[in-house]
Amino acid sequence: MAKKQIYHSYTDDKGILYMQCKLCGEYVPKVGEHAIAVKCTKCVSLTMSSKYPPAVKGYKPTGRPPGWHFMKEFVDKDGNVFHKGKEQLKLKGTLKPTKVKPPKKRTKRRTKDQILVAKYKEKQVLKKTALKKAVQKQKDFLNHNIDKG
């Protein structure tokens, strides 16, 4: 039987025991008194990442519209028939694919500043039209174009 190797350790002024990592040699704090060897967190994460593939995150499109599994009946492009999300193998290819309406485009909510600017512009337009009417009325009066209505 091979002899177990005991790695270098030391105790600091506060009484905390440190021991060398058995892979990289970095000192690991707060080690138990009877510990023979330790691995630091970096070495543990490296060994774990090589054993397991990285987690796949993100949305993978299925080609079906959102909420298709809540529909009473849904038929995809291949002719598969689903009743409330459960596939009906007996009905495959018997129905036409379901036509899905595109979702409504939502209008973005305006900020208070945008609302105030829009109201100001609207008032300016109303003032301009009122001024134009008043000027035209004076021109008509000067040109003796009086409306008798």
DSSP class per residue in 30-90: S--TT---B--HHHHHHHHHHHSPPPP-S----SS-TTGGGSSSEE-TT--EEETTEEEGG
Rounded percentage of the chain residues whose pLDDT exceeds 70: 91
Does the pLDDT at position 148 exceed 70? no
Q: Looking at the domain assignment, is residue 2 inside a domain?
A: no
Q: Looking at the domain assignment, is residue 4 inside a domain?
A: no
Q: Looking at the domain assignment, is residue 31 inside a domain?
A: yes
| SS3 category, 138 | helix
Q: Looking at the domain assignment, is residue 61 inside a domain?
A: no
More confident residue, 52 or 128: 128
What confidence score (pLDDT) does residue 54 get?
67
Mean pLDDT (the chain, rounded):
86
Of 68, 12, 9, residue with least CA distance to 34: 9
Rounded to two decimals, the pTM is 0.36
Q: Looking at the domain assignment, is residue 25 inside a domain?
A: yes
Does the pLDDT at position 149 exceed 50? no
Does the pLDDT at position 51 exceed 90? no
Q: Which residues pair with 9 in a beta bridge?
A: 19
Domain range holding 13? 9-51
Q: Looking at the domain assignment, is residue 70 inside a domain?
A: yes
Residue with tokens 């397991």: 52
Query: Could you read off the pLDDT of 28-44 as tens digits, one per residue?
Result: 888 888 888 888 888 88
* One domain, residues 91 and 122: no
User: Quick one: which H or E segment has residue 27?
Assistant: strand 27-28
How many residues appear in the chain?
Answer: 149
State how many domains the chain has. Answer: 3
Instruction: Measure the CA–CA gap between 146 and 47, rounded to whole angstroms.
Output: 96
Q: Looking at the domain assignment, is residue 57 inside a domain?
A: no
Instruction: Measure the CA–CA gap between 20 and 36, rounded to whole angstroms.
Output: 10
Q: Which two tokens stand for residue 6?
A: 């005991």
Rounded percentage of the chain residues whose pLDDT exceeds 90: 34
What confidence score (pLDDT) does residue 61 get?
83
